[in-house]
Amino acid sequence: MSVSSYTIALIQTPCGTDIDANMTRTMEHIRKAAADGARVIVLQELFAWPYFCREVDERFFAWAEPVPGPTTGKLEKIAAELEVVIVASLFEKRAAGLYHNTTAVIDADGRYLGKYRKMHIPDDPGFHEKFYFTPGDQGYAVFDTRFGRIGVLICWDQWYPEAARITAMMGADLLVYPTAIAALPEEAGERSQRYLEAWQTIQRSHAIANGCFVASVNRVGTEGNLGFWGNSFLCGPFGEMIAQGGEQEESVTGTVDSSVLDRHRTTWPFFRDRRTDSYQPITSRWLDK
């Protein structure tokens, strides 16, 4: 049975090419976050790997693994030991030639609850994800954990209000977004700041429109020509910032209190006033005149 209030930790770290070292670093952060009172721990996108999608190179497929598999097994053990929920983003090998950007959810007793496969796959300079990942085909997902109903989305999904709306309508009190977002060299300075503010604004708007909490965790450090800006954050249903990190390695912690959501959604009754009879055009790619 879930509780109404808990501490969440968003772990943002740099990553190198030594996957074992990345894993060890993250495990240390998980232990410290749990010792400091975190009950739900969310890891950044592809937390144990460098962001290999900045290149097109088939050798990186060797890093993929089944989900559940070896990495989820390690996380199941530490989740049970520390009695924490862990949300972990992984590089999944589903079958020969079929790979996904996948997030697994592990409950506080070490049980693997299931996975969500990233639905929206980008392809931009420095972010060649379409070369590596097949879009998710299992739909959106909400997981009943010991500490709350958590809806999982991944990075590029965060720009799509439809994904947030559907996941909230499935009962999520908290939307989490494991993320790997960065600035290219030509985007440094003021331009990078505008992107950061847009990234935060779209996700805070999901919290407001759906009357839920939103947590986004982004990696830090420089990988090739990408500068990951961190700034992981937790916001509440008014879009208010509860906790926000900087550009350094850290665990960003805050409190999620789902007991406020009933009154919030009653006061701002967006779900009540939805005109579902008018939304059919949204399933079109574009509305030609």
As annotated, the active-site residues are: 45, 118, 155
Give the C-alpha separation, 160 to 210, whole Å: 13
Ramachandran category for residue 8: left, alpha or beta (phi over 0 → left; psi -120 to 50 → alpha): beta
Cis peptide before 68 (omega within 30 of 0): yes
Is 171 within 8 Å of 150 (Cβ atoms)? Answer: no
What does the block give as tokens for 137? 């085909």
- Which position has the token pair 């950007």? 101
Is 231 within 8 Å of 244 (Cβ atoms)? Answer: yes
Cα→Cα distances 39→6, 144, 168, 172, 251, Å: 6, 14, 21, 17, 13
Residue of 224, 235, 238 lying closest to 175 (CA atoms): 235
Q: Hey, what long-range contacts does 157-160 have (CB within 8 A, 24 or more apart)?
A: 157/118, 157/119, 157/120, 158/199, 158/202, 158/203, 158/206, 158/216, 159/120, 159/202, 160/120
What does the block give as tokens for 234? 């937790």
3-state SS assignment for residue 138:
coil
Q: Which amino acid is at 208?
A: I
